[in-house]
Amino acid sequence: MSAVSSSERSLHGWGRTAPSTARVLRPASAVEVPEAVADALATASDGLIPRGAGRSYGDAAQNAGGAVIDMTALDRILALDRAGLRLTAQAGVTIAQMMARLAVEGLTLPVVPGTSQVTLGGAIASDIHGKNHHQDGGFARHVSAITLLTPGGELLDLTPETNPDLFYATLGGLGLTGIVTEATLKVEPLSAPWVAEDSDRTSGLAETLEIMAMEESHRYSVAWLDLLAEGGKFGRAVVGRANPLPASEMPVSSGILHASRSRFPGVLVNGPTVEVPKRFPGALLRHSSIRAFNELNWRKAPRSERGRPRALVPYFFPLDAVGQWNRLYGSAGLVQYQFVVPSGEEAALERCFELIQRLRLPVFLAVFKRFGDQFGGPMSFPLNGWTLAIDLPADAAGLGAALDQLDQLVAGCGGRVYLTKDARLRPELLRTMYPQLDLFNQQRSLVDPDGVLRSDLARRVGLLEHSA
Ligand SMILES: Cc1cc2nc3c(=O)[nH]c(=O)nc-3n(C[C@H](O)[C@H](O)[C@H](O)COP(=O)(O)OP(=O)(O)OC[C@H]3O[C@@H](n4cnc5c(N)ncnc54)[C@H](O)[C@@H]3O)c2cc1C
């Protein structure tokens, strides 16, 4: 009888749509992971999938009727090579935990997503990106070694040199090539836990695109778009571009003394300051109230501002201050739709924006970023081009049909949707959006010949049917 703790539980993603029940096994240490896998395979009839912090919006970390291996107890930082700028950690450690530890040494992570609450395993399996993809690529570019447990119980040490095909398939591989138990990644010096932000408020889409398309010298760049404003105001935005702030320019009010300005203990520990109540009425997020909110948000931004110091944590993770903000969307939950279209396809991008407006989608947060060169695995999401992420109430009228139309436009110009955030993509478009699917499946069939690694997402989008 296995010692791994387990229970039958209903799980959902951050969007709180499509919950499903699985047997959840939570290994308490690295030695218990193979035990958990063996136990899952002996008892659950429908395979298994690893799970991190459950911050993917859709069903990537669920497995209805099967087993889910919860990796969050494996949260140890194993080694920090200060001189070589390398960190090795277990897969369940979060971005917040890594950043807090690194800050003590005057170091930080090169790529972080919009929340600090994702695990290292989840960051690898989704090949996450940050506000600096145009300069630094995604997470994958900074991972130098992965330890992967196959369903057969074999522990593989993967690097780009020793086993490039499986290494890259695992980056962005959605947990379908095995369980990442630990990984090594590059880290970098942290000049100060601040950035200096330039902000521009644009009056319409043409101006927004013009600024975003400019030769980019800033390390971080992101625009918040108002896709509900009408007429010439459509596509107006607040474009924020930032660079790390040198320690010598850190605001005195930061409370960090000159003497300690190369190490920053405590400054990156972050927790929610307010919590959304359990039964928040999602009806508040309807078209008219969102329009009013967007108007306010745009108006309160300065027309143009240069070099405003912003503390790193609220700059990178603004939503982490509001605990369980996904409850704002009420009991039906939310869908985050994120797509990328390649550079050169700006006309298609504008058609996507127009479609969103024409279909009257209640878009509250529209986050627009630029991606740099493609790098990563066959299932990695980023392409050189433009990406838009929109949060939508899952029960918005006509949402499914509207997003199907957007999918067609996106796939038609060589773009794709981000599978880790997906909750509704139809299988027909998977291969068009991810043309290296066969390459991925070749690797999958080598490590998992019986096809026991399965998730609700993989079943729903037909990922498991496409065998090499
Ligand atoms: C507020 C918010 C902001 C976000 N911002 C961004 C952003 O800016 N950029 C971006 O790219 N993403 C962003 N995301 C998405 C998020 O970064 C990814 O979904 C990430 O994968 C979640 O990690 P997790 O630990 O929660 O993993 P889970 O959601 O639990 O799992 C995600 C996937 O990883 C796999 N997985 C988890 N652990 C392992 C493991 N040990 N071994 C193998 N596979 C594993 C799962 O099987 C699943 O397929 C955001 C999400 C939220 C909620």
For residue 259, the model assigns a pLDDT of 40
Q: What is the number of the ligand 1 atom nearest to the C-alpha of 138? A: 11
Tell if the pTM clears 0.85, that is, is over it: yes
Name which of 61-70, 99-108, 113-122, 206-215 the model is least confident about: 206-215
Q: Where are the beta strands (DSSP E) in 151-213?
A: 155-158, 179-186, 188-189, 194-201
Which atom from ligand 1 is nearest to the alpha carbon of 49? 47
Q: For residue 435, how many other CB atoms are within 10 A of its CB? A: 12
Give the closest residue (by CA) to ligand 1 atom 1. 115
Within the chain, how many helices (H) and strands (E) appear? 13, 21
CATH of the domain spanning 194-430, picked from 3.30.750.80, 3.40.50.300, 3.90.180.10, 3.30.70.2520 = 3.30.70.2520
Calculate what percentage of the chain has a pLDDT beyond 90.
77
Q: What is the mean pLDDT of residues 398-408?
A: 96
Query: What's the full length of the chain, in residues?
Result: 468
For 421, residues 6+ apart whose C-beta sits below 8 A from its C-beta are: 15, 56, 57, 58, 336, 337, 338, 389
**pLDDT of the residue at 442:** 97
Taking CA atoms, 235 is separated from 300, 301, 428, in Å, by 16, 15, 31
Say which residues have a Cβ less than 8 Å from residue 260's Cβ, sequence separation at least 6.
none
Residue 386's CB is within 10 A of a number of other CB atoms, namely: 23
Contact between 65 and 150 under an 8 Å Cβ cutoff? The reply is no
Identify which of 75, 109, 119, 371 to mutate to test ligand 1's pocket (most ligand atoms within 8 A of the CB): 119
Per-residue pLDDT band at 1 (split at 50, 70, 90): low
- pLDDT tens across 93-152, in order? 999 999 999 999 999 999 999 999 999 999 999 999 999 999 999 999 999 999 999 999
Question: Is pLDDT of 441 > 50?
Answer: yes
Q: What is the pLDDT of residue 466?
A: 60
What tokens were used for 152?
A: 């057969």
As given in the structure block, the two tokens for residue 73 are 């107890």
- 118 in contact with ligand 1, CB cutoff 6 A: yes
Q: What is the reported pLDDT for 291?
A: 78
Q: Which range, of 27-31, 295-299, 367-371, 379-383, averages the lowest pLDDT?
A: 295-299
Alpha-carbon distance 233 to 259, whole Å? 49
The response to whether residue 119 sits with its C-beta less than 6 Å from ligand 1 reads yes
Q: What is the pLDDT of residue 331?
A: 86
